[in-house]
Structure 1
């Protein structure tokens, strides 16, 4: 069979011998580099870090309500695995109830002058005494275990004028905000410089891990040191006749707080963070 004649008289080979030419795909070498991989999704702790970096603006600032909602939503979804923890770890299976004041371990994921990301590990029966967070907004997420939280706010920002302090100024009136048990998983709690339970106490009912976001973090140089307190029931103090004792105080859960030195039996031990890292890029 002879060749067919195509357009403009160009000979075309017989159908049986025709070949289909397929354009070759460019190789990695031909494209001038390695084959591009799909971008990895940021880890849970990386998303949290990026949100904190956008929200916290440094000392003297408080996140806006919409920013608080953003961070709270991210923290509510955080799992122990997001920071390298698991309920199968020996620490969370331990049930040593004999020791009354076990050491508390803490690890820092990230810290800057604007905020810090810290995990607290409380063995069963461990207590972080009543203490404050001056000038800070603090987000606390219970990742594992269960604990009791008791927290207060000052009853009046200016106790000298309102009668919210004792005559010798050793006691100052505070209002109870939280006094309850919490078990993971549970919602994130938020405290502010003057509201939400700025002074609080943690007691571990079972071994627990708490993810704390502090904005800004403690700083002795910037007058944000930790102060410890002891609480005295309002009814047990003999102060009477103050302006705060009246109809406007009915129904309020009040107590007197007194500054104390850091308890000698409080043992806080830092350890290296071993979970997923955060990138500042």
Structure 2
């Protein structure tokens, strides 16, 4: 399958899996992608664990191209994004997080996301929306509007571990990351964020279920600690992501979907 590198193989398999006409990829296709990502090491994407130590906020860096995702702040620990490939149907990239840095709670509207931890340990907290939607404007802070979500994960993941997958409505579509050590995560997003297409990244603040507990009566087999209320918010001021340079093997493009692909 591979033509020179695992990243080349990942690009080619992603291109077959995530096409403009594909409403949702098959479970078999996702399994193949996960199996391939499970085999990718830091060295294969140009990363060396021993030289990627913490990089705690040292002033301003180059402007961030992902304006729908982040807001720069001088005092924040910078998270670095390495752009490997991008087109209208999917993106491939790596997030490098220094110790204790946080990617705040956010969503992936209408998206499938595959995440492979290349090195390090990270705490993951993930939710899915409760269906049908349960929205509240009640409570002591009546000026806010919150929506009910259910916990899907609250765990620590350390490399090596299997590639995780989230889907538009399942698997923890809303999640936040906290780096326990310096960590790198290889991501495939399909389709990518696009404000024009209505896929805007939204950030959230979570409240304990008891804050608005009078809204929904839980069943006998349900626990309050399995639920929380989420309030949409702007990106935190201290969330800072910068663009880095990918030094691994480049993607060699062949034929691609008409009008959809760009050179990374």
Normalization by structure 2: what TM-score? 0.82
CA contact (8 A) 2:56 2:76 kept: no
Q: Which residue of 1 aligns with 2:204?
A: 229
CA distance in 1, matches of 2:147, 2:157: 28
CA distance in 2, matches of 1:128, 1:83: 22
**Matched residue of 1:150: which SS?**
strand
CA deviations over 1:32-90 (Å, ceiling 9, x no partner): xxxxxxxx95311111111000000238722110001000000111111111112222x
Q: Which residue of 2 aligns with 1:277?
A: 250
List alignment gaps of at least 5 residues for structure 1.
1-39
Q: Which residue of 1 aligns with 2:8?
A: 46
Please report how far the alpha carbon of residue 240 of structure 1 lies from its aligned counterpart in structure 2 after TM superposition.
1.2
**Matched residue of 2:152: which SS?**
strand
2:79 aligned with 1:117, yes or no?
A: no
CA distance in 2, matches of 1:216, 1:176: 24
CA distance in 1, matches of 2:152, 2:158: 18
How many residues end up aligned between the 2 structures? 232
Normalization by structure 1: what TM-score? 0.77
Q: Which residue of 1 aligns with 2:226?
A: 253
Higher RCO (C-alpha 8 Å, min separation 6): 2
Distance 1:56 1:171, change over 3 A: same
**Considering only CA atoms, is the larger Rg found in Structure 1 or Structure 2?**
1
2:137 aligned with 1:167, yes or no?
A: yes
Q: Which residue of 2 aligns with 1:240?
A: 214
Q: Which residue of 2 aligns with 1:208?
A: 183
Please report how far the alpha carbon of residue 144 of structure 1 lies from its aligned counterpart in structure 2 after TM superposition.
1.1
Q: Which residue of 1 aligns with 2:167?
A: 192
CA deviations over 1:211-234 (Å, ceiling 9, x no partner): 010000011111111000011111
Q: Which residue of 2 aligns with 1:265?
A: 238
CA deviations over 1:116-164 (Å, ceiling 9, x no partner): 00100101110000000001000000001111000000011x32xxxx2
Please report how far the alpha carbon of residue 250 of structure 1 lies from its aligned counterpart in structure 2 after TM superposition.
4.3
Q: Which residue of 2 aligns with 1:183?
A: 158
Structure 1, 48-57 or 60-69: larger mean CA deviation: 60-69
Distance 1:167 1:88, change over 3 A: closer
Q: Which residue of 1 aligns with 2:19?
A: 57
CA contact (8 A) 1:115 1:217 kept: yes
Q: What is the CA RMSD across the aligned residues, in angstroms?
A: 2.2
Q: Which residue of 2 aligns with 1:88?
A: 50
Distance 1:131 1:238, change over 3 A: closer
CA contact (8 A) 1:59 1:135 kept: no
Please report how far the alpha carbon of residue 273 of structure 1 lies from its aligned counterpart in structure 2 after TM superposition.
1.5
